[in-house]
Amino acid sequence: MSLSDNKKSVLDTIGAYSSLNQNEDKSFNQTKNSFSSVNNKKETIPYLLDVLKTVAGTEALKQLVGTMFSNFIEQTEPKLKKTLKKQFVQYNSDNTLPSNFKNNGVSIPVENLDTKSKFKTNPDSSTGSLLYDNTKPNFDKIGYQAILNEGTDIPYNNLLVNYNKNTDSFIFKPNISTNPNVTVNNWFTDYIDKTEIINKKEVMTGVIDYIFGSVTSNQNKTDEQIKNELEVDKLLEQLIDNNDSFQISQEDLDAIEKKANDLINGITYYDMGCGVISANLSLSGMSSLISNISGSTNGFEIANAIENSIDQASNSDQQSTDENKETIKDGFFNKIIKIFVVKISNSLTTAPQIRMLLGISSSFQNNGNVILTKTKDDLQKYKVIIKCIINDIIKLVGEFIFNLAVSYLIKLLTPIIKKIIKEKINQFKRIIKSLIST
């Protein structure tokens, strides 16, 4: 059997068991054949989502969103830190840090680090309170403090961060007072071990803002800035889908231009297959949602809060029916899951502190010269590192979805197995009884 036939067989079997469990007699062929993931040989996550949807419907997608926001980051950050450390092991890893780095530091322009212009927003503003996590030390907050305290070394883990207003650049030096002879490998390892790489609140904000544009519309960004950010996201999305062409089609560029305009206006539009949906979540509504879910470890509470926000923020241009509502929610949950993977990838590949590590690493290999340009160009330049990181992210996300699907399969099959066992027992009883009566 071909791969697509095997995929269809899995979905067909699950559909048959679902019908049996619900005492329904209906064909699942039309549904299974409508899944585009069946004929897609490269994308793993879409197929796993189709399996999950087939097993338990919209509720399964909803639970996945909640558990991803509540558990995935905590469970996978240690594994993804190992991935990062592997990528920064260099040919000169056993050498001590270069003297130029220790004495003069590495200078990197802010615009080459700050892909999303985050440092232009005050963390204490209503918008900034969503973009930054002010409850704990983190690289972005330290970077903003360095800008406010120009010319002052701000310590962060094994790093000193200094801002030069004249060049609009950060100067990074190693904080090696306790170990001046630290090796390249040990310095990178120590930084990654001690640093929060993925901040749950910031990821949540990124995902929800992409859906509704609540934050972006209040940042005073230019249309060009937002388009550049969306192009970076699109390239990461393509890498997640196993497309490393680093080319964005004209159709996708047109969609990006429209999306940028929507985000600026704070009203986004989606075609969910049952009419065009407009989505508008106010900044206060966004703040309330993020506040409710950022500190929660309860996946069901998070999923319910997001579902309520979707209900309040979305409006259909067609008459709303129960079937339409489910289709709309399926569409939003699928988009949230897809964007979640992109935002996790952002955290590991294009976030300011990762860009900093790439810049410092490149200076070690190029006589002190930092090889960083525009983020979307650097994705291709550092494609080996980026692809390795994203491949590990996909594996972890796939494993996470697979485990949830298995738990739903167990729930689905348990009553069926009990029913079959009961029927077999009754059959044996009848046989034994007939033998005794004779």
pLDDT band, very low/low/confident/very high, at 438 (cuts 50, 70, 90):
low
| 66 in a structural domain | no
Q: Are 280 and 365 found together in one domain?
A: no
Give residue 25's domain range: 3-60+398-437
Q: State which amino acid sits at residue 187.
A: W
**Contact criterion met (CB below 8 Å) for 92 and 322:** no
- Per-residue pLDDT of 104-158, as tens digits, reads 999 999 999 999 999 999 999 999 999 999 888 899 999 999 999 999 999 999 9
How large is the average pLDDT for residues 396-412? 90
Of all residues in the chain, what percent carry a pLDDT higher than 70?
87
Q: State which amino acid sits at residue 260.
A: A
- Per-residue pLDDT of 64-81, as tens digits, reads 999 999 889 989 999 999
The more confidently predicted of residues 317 and 6 is 6
**Contact criterion met (CB below 8 Å) for 90 and 365:** yes
| Rounded Cα gap, residues 191 and 58, in angstroms | 41
| 356 in a structural domain | yes
Q: Are 207 and 334 found together in one domain?
A: yes
| Rounded Cα gap, residues 247 and 420, in angstroms | 54
Q: Are 238 and 160 found together in one domain?
A: no
b/e per residue, 42-71, with b = 16+ CB within 10 A? Answer: ebbbbbbbbbbbbbbebebbbbbbbbbbbe
How large is the average pLDDT for residues 222-235? 95
pLDDT at site 24: 46
What is the number of structural domains in the chain?
3
What's the angle, vertex CA 297, arms to CA 296 and CA 299, rounded to 5?
Answer: 100
Q: Backbone phi, then psi, for 200, in 5-degree steps?
A: -60, -45
| 65 in a structural domain | no
- Residue with the two structure tokens 């040990």: 186
Q: Are 122 and 13 found together in one domain?
A: no
Q: State which amino acid sits at residue 268.
A: T
Residues paired with residue 170 on neighbouring β-strands, in sequence order: 108, 163
Q: Are 405 and 366 found together in one domain?
A: no
Its pTM surpasses 0.85: yes
| Rounded Cα gap, residues 168 and 164, in angstroms | 6
Q: Are 139 and 224 found together in one domain?
A: no
